[in-house]
Amino acid sequence: MAANVEIDERGVPYYRFPPFPDTPPGVQIVPFDQFKPSGIVMDMDPDALEVDGLGIRTVRLKAKHNNEGTPVVKKKAKKVKLPTGEQITRRSPWWEEWAEGEDLRSNHFYNAMMPREDRLEKASQDFHKGRNWGTPENGLQAMYDQFRLYIGLIGNPTVPFRKRPRGGPPAVDDEYDSDSGPEDPPEEPINAEPEKTEVGIVEGAKDARAINEKIQSQVEESEMFVLDEKYHQRVQAELEAKEARLEAFLDDPEVAMKIFFSSYFFEKGLAWADQKLRDVPLLASFFLRFMQRNRVLPETSRSLARAIEVVDKAKMELPMTKKITQKLPDYFGKACRELWGEREPANVWLAPLEPYSEDEDSDEEGLRRRQTKRAKIEEVTDANEVASVQVFPEPPQDASMEVDNENLKGTPTDATSNNDTSSAWQASGDQEMSTGWGGSDKDKGGWGILDPPGEDGDTPRDALGQPLDLSGWSDEQPSLLVLFGPTTIPLTHRVGIAELSTRKIVSWSMPPQPVPSGLVGCLRGVLAEVVLAPWDEYSEAKGASVVAPCLVSPDGEEVITTHNPSTDMIRVLMHPTAAAVLHAGMGIQGLWVQAVPRVVRDSESKCGTNESASGSRGKGRGGDGGNGAHNGRGGKKGRVGGRRYWSFLVHGESPTRGSVLLDRGCMMKCTQNFLFGF
């Protein structure tokens, strides 16, 4: 029977069923209850025709999909060779396991009418489900808890302090034993006092004891009340801080992520572990993208997208800060430090310091603090004096050895003695010999010569305040002779002014081939060139990490220069191994010390500039921190051949903490740098 064909009002034919059309001859229709589905048969021969489970050839669809015809790249299992020679399959890292099927985690529904705090809490629970968090040793769960603590999903636990009643048995919670049953008798204290039997106590004495016990119980209750009040205050303060962190993240996720991966990351010690530098940004990226796919916070979708960009930048730049600080200071910077020395600590100002005021110690509180501190110092000094008179038995001596016992005991030598020969342990007549095991109250209780007199500032110290090793037993000192061979730089240049600023890495280039001629060619043939631009964002707040650039004169002279640290770009020279780890957009802050030419040569003064013809060189010190480029500030920029160069010479052994993460990268802080310009 043929199907009914009708024509609609627009003239388009359409079929109406039933009745259904007749079955074509030779065709058998399988009822639905007898139908058994069958998939496509996979054939190893790539040229074979594709058929299904019934052997029927498949038909190509008319619609062409984007991924059709794309070759399928199979992941090869990574294998590790054991010392025994056996190869085993290495397990993929956690972020690769999470990435497989991560796009399918978008079937969660979050009602937009619910409070946004509840939606974020539910999203964190859904994000945690179904993932492999590994063992506690890998620290992945701890890093996730640290992230939730920062965004205000959880708070710091506060344990109440409970005072044990005086003379009473310990609290049940403190001495609870899971193995003891309810019928077990209470354990007797180890030093329990025997029960006292009251014999012949008058009635007045009983009343007095009852009054004393009542007073004692009231005092203990008041103490417990004060402790409970303090505990409740701590709990309330933690709840308020948790709500503030949660509100800050919900209002602007972008700013919250910038703070998390900068100041918070360093204050909480997350930046000092390589694993956390790598895993925390990856973990935050998975969480924020989960929120974006499931539209947890549609009202802040734009800020959330920018927060993901910040996290992506942190994934790349945070691990690079460790690599940069491992390469800096480079050999070139250390060699310049050995040549010109290190700037005096008084001339290094990375942060403004409050001036000393006598009014601060004029009150009673300041006087009391000074007197307490002085009393502690005198007490320690008296203890040292008592310890210094302790007598130890002398070991037996061989009769064949001629030993001056008086000299061993540290007996002072008469100044009018005819024997003017100095001992091998004595450097000069102005210093006294140490008596060995604390025999003198002027020494430090050890063998050898006393420290020379002088103020603390006279002793050379490193960045951590530790005395420098000047004994000559340290490693070989870096030298420009190793890099350039015989050079006239130490004779033609001197230390100039300094610049304190933050700069951004723009580009860098390795030593060119062929090597140019002249002094510039000598430097550029060995060193890489890095272009640094001023950091255009800074804060005027007190104690800010990124401040406006300024010029400093190390010798207290007036700074006269045509160099503008706020607008001018500088070209920095550094060792190629250090330049290879830099990344464009990262920033570095530091004090840059310039070395200017002693004499301006006529051949160099014809370059069409009234600045110093030859450039400056310097040294500096790099540090750990957020992502960023090293930045310097300096004085005059010289020219040779029409180009200006500043060589980036970082030195120092102590990394400093990072600073703020800005729109175009993180910032890494250093303390002192030498610049070398031409």
What digits encode the pLDDT tens for the residues 176-207?
444 444 444 555 555 555 554 444 445 556 67
Of the listed ranges 69-83, 168-182, 281-295, 490-504, the least confidently predicted one is: 168-182
- Which position has the higher pLDDT, 477 or 83? 477
Q: Which amino acid is at 448?
A: G
φ and ψ at 614, to 5 degrees?
-95, 160
Q: Specify the length of the chain in residues.
A: 678
Q: Return the H-helix or E-strand segment holding 674.
A: strand 673-676
Bridge partners, residue 81, by sequence: 87
Query: What's the token pair of residue 312?
Result: 């992506």
pLDDT digits over 199-237, tens only?
A: 444 555 667 777 777 777 766 666 665 666 777 778 788
Is the pLDDT score of 142 beyond 80? yes
User: pLDDT: is 39 or 319 the higher one?
Assistant: 319
Dist. CA 187–CA 291, nearest whole Å: 55
Average pLDDT of the segment spanning 19-34: 85
Q: Which residue has the higher pLDDT, 553 or 98?
A: 98
Residue of higher predicted confidence among 659 and 400: 400
- What are the tokens at 520? 């510039």
Q: How confident is the model at residue 39 (pLDDT cuts 50, 70, 90)?
A: confident
Three-state DSSP string of 296-361: CCHHHHHHHHHHHHHHHHHHHHHHHHHHHHHHCCCHHHHHHHHHHCCCCHHHCCCCCCCCCCHHHH
Strands 79-81 vs 87-89: parallel, antiparallel or unpaired: antiparallel
pLDDT, tens digit, 9 for 90 and up, residues 473-528: 556 788 888 888 888 888 887 777 777 888 888 988 888 877 766 666 677 788 88
> What pLDDT does residue 642 have?
33
Bridging pattern class, strands 493-509 and 550-552: antiparallel
Question: How confident is the model at residue 237, as a pLDDT?
Answer: 83
Question: 62: burial class by Cβ within 10 Å (0-12, 13-18, 19+)?
Answer: exposed
Question: What is the mean predicted confidence (pLDDT) over 151-173?
Answer: 59
Beta strand segments in 564-641, E = 570-574, 587-597, 617-620
The residues, any chain, with a CB within 8 Å of residue 134's CB and separated by 6 or more, are 94, 140, 141
Q: How far is CA 416 from CA 281, 387, 404, 413, 428, in A?
A: 74, 32, 19, 9, 16
Tell me which of 503 and 280 has the higher pLDDT: 280
Q: What is the 3-state secondary structure (H, E, C) of 14-42?
A: EEECCCCCCCCCCCCCCCHHHCCCCCECC
Q: Which residue has the tokens 């040793």?
A: 137
For 251-260, how does the pLDDT look when each residue is reduced to its tens digit (9 = 90+)? Answer: 999 999 999 9
Q: Kindly report whether the global pTM for this prediction surpasses the value 0.85.
A: no
Give the pLDDT of residue 343.
Answer: 56
Tell me: pLDDT of 462 over 70.
no
Distance CA 65, CA 668 (A): 48
HSE of 77, CA atoms in CB hemisphere, 13 A? 8
pLDDT score for 488:
81
Q: Which of 146-160, 196-210, 373-387, 491-505 has the lowest mean pLDDT?
A: 373-387
Of 151-160, 291-300, 459-468, 507-516, the least confident: 459-468
pLDDT of residue 62: 64
Picking from 264-278, 373-387, 605-619, which range would have the lowest pLDDT averaged per residue?
Answer: 605-619
User: Residues 111-115: contacts with CB within 8 Å, 24+ apart?
Assistant: 112/298
Q: What pLDDT does 351 receive?
A: 38
Higher pLDDT, 678 or 88: 88
Integer angstrom CA distances of residue 6 from 2, 13, 310: 12, 6, 62
**pLDDT above 80: residue 378:** no
Residue type, 173: D
For residues 632 and 513, which has the higher predicted lDDT (pLDDT)?
A: 513
Q: Lowest-confidence range among 266-275, 287-296, 371-380, 572-581? A: 371-380
Give residue 64's pLDDT.
59
CA-wise closest residue to 531 among 632, 407, 662: 632
pLDDT tens-digit profile of 396-425? 444 444 444 444 444 444 434 344 443 333
Q: What pLDDT shows up at residue 388?
A: 41
More confident call, 584 vs 523: 584
Q: Is 221 helix (H, G, I), strand (E, B) or coil?
A: helix
Residue of higher predicted confidence among 551 and 678: 551
